[in-house]
Amino acid sequence: MKLRAQVAMVMNLDKCIGCHTCSVTCKQTWTNREGTEYVWFNNVETKPGIGYPKHYEDQERWHGGWKLDGKGRLVLRSGGRAKRLTRIFANPDLPSLADYYEPATFDKDILVNAPEGLLDTPVKQPRSALTGEPMAIEWGANWEDGLGGAHERADTDPNIVAMEKATSEKVRFEFEKTFMFHLPRICEHCLNPACVSACPSGAMYKREEDGIVLVDQDKCRGWRMCVSACPYKKVYVNHATGKAEKCTFCFPRIEAGQPTICSETCVGRLRYLGIVFYDEDAVLAAASVEDEHDLLDAQRAVFLDPHDPAVQQAAREAGMPQEWLDAAEASPVWRLISDYKIALPLHPEYRTLPMVWYVPPLSPVLDAVGAAGRDDADADDVFHTIRDLRIPVEYLAELFTAGDADAAAGVLMKLAAMRSYMRSRTLDGTVAEDLLEKMGMSADEVEAMYRLLAIAKYDERYVIPTAYTKDAAALEAQAASTSDCSLDCEGGPGMGGSGGATTATVEKFHLVADDDGVRPGRTPWKSRRSDGRLGLSLDPMPGGAS
Amino acid sequence: MNTLAFVVVPYLCLAVFVVGHVWRWRHDQMGWTTHTSQLLEGRLLRLASPLFHLGALGVVGGHVIGLLIPASWTHAVGISEHAYHVVAVGGGTVSGLMLAAGFVLLVIRRRMTPKVFRATTRTDKLLYAAMGWMILLGMTATVGVNIFGEGYDYREELAVWFRQIFWLQPESHLMADAPLVYQAHAVSGFLFMALWPFTRLVHVWSAPLAYLWRPYVVYRGRPGNAPTASRTPSDVRDSALPR
């Protein structure tokens, strides 16, 4: 057994109202730079829908993630090492900008400088943020918000295509009584990351301490294999720096014990952050399970019980401070995934062992209950609907349980039972023993689960231990150092391996770069010295790291 | 004049090549990339880029064989002059045509796609001009002189001079009788080498062959020191309260 800790997230989809606050604050924090205009480390999709980038879940087309080969061995879907190197000159699986969207901005001067007394209202025209040319806006990262355009496109949602034909046709047929929910997505920081495995330069890595997956900006050489290997399409090319960038799990905040910016600003308070212990030696076997329906249980089995004294001992031997052991015991993520078993991974069939899990939404089912003329407050009616009306359930199963509708239905029934239990508990003070029996939980457990899902406060939702250093002397040195900044270099996203720091956050809102001489992220080859002379830039460690 | 062109310039260029790479490696890891533009345009690139790169590998391989292996060695293993010539000119022409075709397509793509053209720096433009010039001279030397012209056996004099540079005893008179296009190609080649470390061409040295052997998932420790814990929101709130 090789114990490691992983910072993980669970999102409770029933509480997502699709306000995109997470996306906006994430973008302001990380990707408001030239080269990342089209990049959303966090985006919120409406499901059913084809997603961002378009049809990213269709792995027949993009060849992301892992699969089992003929002999049952785990291989990257895009092929082995030698095959990847033969495709290095042109990656056939790379999405084009059109698959994301062409970023646009507006020429607002035309409004500001409009002369008085115009008969027509001046109109600002959309312009491409890449070329400055006028353009028509035809797609965006949340184009399908609230099922926009669903009547034209949603039936090409890879999850609907993957459903059994009889059921998927029913989805289209019953679209008047449609269902929808929002799906916020960030990088999954997988235990078995396909992007890291596909990186030819070895620039991508998983951090030993907290499992966060990062791109070393100094080592990335722009081979762009990570972009296509990631089945969630959460690694992006910065077209200005020519390097890959991805969600950083806001590691500077996590290290300081703060939640990620998407969690911090989440209006619905639907995100939970905590650590889980897992056995690194068990990852490969769990990812290689033959039957896709067994993947969920296999992934749960990789996690180690933080209450187990043997596990605690192993964690101490691995050099973890007591704070981490305490955090693991109090982890809301562990409770939702392994205690209550109501959180599910997104697309376990990609075999990457994703570390952002979801409590599936009950709301589409409740909509279906109402549409069927039943009582959505009655547990039995809800149960019957889950059994009879397979549409939302099977759709959720495609997303979260590799198509295993029974597993998805089990979680939904648990959530419905909890609601019914709490309703009778609150309204007439009765304890619904029959529901407890169905759920296989005690009254205290159900109420604790309810509290975690419904009213958990900041400190309960985010249990994040501060980063530790095995070398105590380094801690003292840290106290003396003053700089602590999230960006490693100008134009860069701050994922550098050398731990460099700059003095200020870089914000650029150029329509088009004025000076084409120097690429963003690079210091110019000549610079003005302090005495005013022009000279070669000879700083061996750009960014001022010491 | 010969000394300047065939002794001074090569050494200056090689010095810039070496020092430039050291400087670039230490100064500009962030800029050390292929600088891919496949995201911005993919259709033409799918054809042109492999054509260009495979052609370039062939051309580089041909130069290595032609310049670094003495004629006496190939004679010693029994390869006749005619056989060598056929293979060299044939292989060189095919590689050169692939390189040239890929290059032309890539330049057209870069010029005609506004997004890609916008992402083109001045250094890139200089590089394309230099590379176009090199390809033109090289193809003229191979096709113009050796197929349609009277031919020139560069292994007798030019290659000897080239190897002498690395023994630090170049005899510039060996180049004096070479056809003009060969002389120009050789001098331009060294100038091109001097340009190399300052362009995107540095990505050649990062060809990821080590990928074939390394384990799939890379684990790395967090660099630097742990940051100190920041205040919790409740701390911030409480400290703002009047006492």
Higher pLDDT, A499 or B192: B192
pLDDT for B148: 84
3 state DSSP class of A531: coil
Interacting residues of B233 by C-beta distance below 8 A, sequence separation 6+: A458
Alpha helix segments (H runs only) across A87-192: 97-100, 109-112, 150-153, 158-162, 165-173
Give the residue among A497, A526, A521 at the shortest CA–CA distance from B30.
A521
Separation in Å, CA of B203 to nearest CA in chain A = 7
Q: Do A522 and B120 touch (CB under 8 A)?
A: no
Separation in Å, CA of A49 to nearest CA in chain B = 23
pLDDT(B230) > 80: no
Handedness of CA A201, A203, A207, A211 (dihedral sign): negative
Using an 8 Å CB-CB cutoff, list chain B residues near A477: 225
Residue B208 and residue A200 in contact, taking contact as beta carbons nearer than 8 Å: yes
pLDDT tens, A58-95? 999 999 999 999 999 999 999 999 999 999 999 999 99
pLDDT for A59: 95
The C-alpha atoms of residue A38 and residue A55 are separated, in whole angstroms, by: 16
3-state helix, strand, coil in chain B (%, to 5): 70, 0, 30
pLDDT, chain A, mean: 86
Interface check for B105 against chain A (CB to CB < 8 A): the answer is no
pLDDT(A18) > 90: yes
Residue A137: pLDDT band by 50, 70, 90 thresholds?
very high
Q: Among residues of chain A, what percentage have pLDDT more than 70?
A: 85
Query: Options 3.90.320.10, 1.20.1270.360, 1.20.140.10, 1.20.950.20; which CATH number does B2-32+49-205 get?
Result: 1.20.950.20
Q: Do A477 and B31 touch (CB under 8 A)?
A: no
Exposed, middle or buried, A433 (CB in 10 Å: 0-12/13-18/19+)? Answer: exposed
Q: What is the ipTM of this complex?
A: 0.88
Mean pLDDT confidence for A376-386: 79
Residue A461 and residue A269 in contact, taking contact as beta carbons nearer than 8 Å: yes
3-state helix, strand, coil in chain A (%, to 5): 40, 15, 50
Using an 8 Å CB-CB cutoff, list chain A residues near B46: 90, 92
Residue A222 and residue A253 in contact, taking contact as beta carbons nearer than 8 Å: no
* Nearest CB partner across the interface for A517, out of B121, B220, B226: B121
Using an 8 Å CB-CB cutoff, list chain B residues near A97: 39-40, 115
* Nearest CB partner across the interface for B217, out of A85, A206, A478: A206
Interface check for B125 against chain A (CB to CB < 8 A): the answer is no
Lowest-confidence segment of A171-180, A288-297, B122-131 by average pLDDT: A171-180
Interface check for B113 against chain A (CB to CB < 8 A): the answer is no
**N-to-C CA span, chain B:** 87
Interacting residues of A146 by C-beta distance below 8 A, sequence separation 6+: A18, A46, A180
Q: Do B118 and A512 touch (CB under 8 A)?
A: yes
pLDDT, chain B, mean: 91
Greatest extent of chain A over all pairs of C-alpha atoms, in Å: 83
Parse chain B into domains and list their residue ranges: 2-32+49-205
* Nearest CB partner across the interface for B115, out of A131, A224, A536: A131
pLDDT for A174: 60
Interface check for B168 against chain A (CB to CB < 8 A): the answer is no
pLDDT for A166: 77
A139-to-A53, A240, B68 alpha-carbon distances in Å? 10, 22, 55
* Nearest CB partner across the interface for A519, out of B38, B121, B227: B121
Using an 8 Å CB-CB cutoff, list chain A residues near B32: 218, 221
CA–centroid distance for B40 within its chain: 23
Q: Do A466 and B227 touch (CB under 8 A)?
A: yes
pLDDT tens, B140-186? 998 888 888 888 888 888 999 999 999 999 998 999 889 999 999 99
Nearest residue on chain B to A476, judged by CA atoms?
A: B225
Interface check for B39 against chain A (CB to CB < 8 A): the answer is yes
pLDDT(A108) > 90: no
CA dihedral B72, B77, B82, B83 (to 10 degrees): -140
Separation in Å, CA of B23 to nearest CA in chain A = 8
Structure tokens, A498:
């050398």
Nearest residue on chain A to B229, judged by CA atoms?
A: A256
Using an 8 Å CB-CB cutoff, list chain B residues near A241: 30, 33
pLDDT(A493) > 70: no
Nearest residue on chain A to B223, judged by CA atoms?
A: A499
Interface check for B223 against chain A (CB to CB < 8 A): the answer is yes
Q: Do B33 and A256 touch (CB under 8 A)?
A: no
3 state DSSP class of B150: coil
CA atoms within 13 Å, Cβ hemisphere of B179: 17
Q: Do B217 and A193 touch (CB under 8 A)?
A: yes
Residue B240: pLDDT band by 50, 70, 90 thresholds?
confident
Q: Do B33 and A193 touch (CB under 8 A)?
A: no
* Nearest CB partner across the interface for B228, out of A205, A474, A478: A478
Give the residue among A427, A482, A422, A494 at the shortest CA–CA distance from A454.
A422
Q: Which DSSP string do the residues of A86-110 spell out, in sequence order?
A: HTSSS-TTPPPHHHH---EEE-THH
Number of other residues whose CB lies within 10 A of the CB of residue A532: 6
Separation in Å, CA of A480 to nearest CA in chain B = 11
**Torsion-angle region of B34 (φ positive above 0: left; ψ -120 to 50: alpha; else: beta):** alpha
Separation in Å, CA of B238 to nearest CA in chain A = 15
Classify strands A344-345 and A213-215 as parallel, antiparallel or unpaired. Answer: unpaired
pLDDT(A520) > 60: no
* Nearest CB partner across the interface for A207, out of B121, B220, B226: B220
Residue A246 and residue A41 in contact, taking contact as beta carbons nearer than 8 Å: yes
Higher pLDDT, B54 or B223: B54
Q: Do B219 and A525 touch (CB under 8 A)?
A: no
Q: Among residues of chain B, what percentage have pLDDT more than 70?
A: 95
Q: Do B233 and A207 touch (CB under 8 A)?
A: no
Q: Do A92 and B46 touch (CB under 8 A)?
A: yes
pLDDT for A337: 97
Separation in Å, CA of B187 to nearest CA in chain A = 26
Q: Do B118 and A92 touch (CB under 8 A)?
A: no
* Nearest CB partner across the interface for B216, out of A197, A217, A220: A197
Higher pLDDT, B242 or A102: A102
Residue among B211, B214, B231 with most chain A CBs within 10 A, to mutate: B211
Classify strands A126-128 and A104-106 as parallel, antiparallel or unpaired. Answer: antiparallel
Greatest extent of chain B over all pairs of C-alpha atoms, in Å: 99
The C-alpha atoms of residue B33 and residue A201 are separated, in whole angstroms, by: 11
Residue that is written with structure tokens 């990852």 in the block: A283
pLDDT(A152) > 90: no
pLDDT for A194: 97
Amino acid at A486: S
Lowest-confidence segment of A333-337, A357-361, B176-180 by average pLDDT: B176-180
pLDDT for A364: 81
Interface check for B31 against chain A (CB to CB < 8 A): the answer is yes
Lowest-confidence segment of A40-49, A165-174, A271-280, B137-146 by average pLDDT: A165-174
Mean pLDDT confidence for A347-370: 91
Structure tokens, A163:
């459903």
pLDDT for B224: 67
Nearest residue on chain A to B222, judged by CA atoms?
A: A207
Separation in Å, CA of B121 to nearest CA in chain A = 5
Residue A435: pLDDT band by 50, 70, 90 thresholds?
confident
Interface check for B53 against chain A (CB to CB < 8 A): the answer is yes
pLDDT for A295: 96
Torsion angles phi and psi, residue A243, rounded to 5: -125, 160
String of b and e for A394-426 (b: at least 16 CB within 10 Å)? bbbbbbbbbbbbebbbbbbbbbbbbbbbbebbe
Structure tokens, B182:
């060969």
B149-to-A374, B91, B142, B152, B176 alpha-carbon distances in Å? 91, 18, 9, 9, 19
pLDDT for B226: 62
Amino acid at B205: W
The C-alpha atoms of residue B118 and residue B37 are separated, in whole angstroms, by: 11
The C-alpha atoms of residue A545 and residue A488 are separated, in whole angstroms, by: 9
Mean pLDDT confidence for A246-265: 94
Describe the crossing of helices B158-167 and B9-27 by its angle, rounded to 10 degrees: 60
Lowest-confidence segment of A275-284, B6-15, B78-87, B102-111 by average pLDDT: B78-87
3 state DSSP class of A276: strand
Q: What is the DSSP letter of A76?
A: E
Residue A300 and residue A338 in contact, taking contact as beta carbons nearer than 8 Å: yes
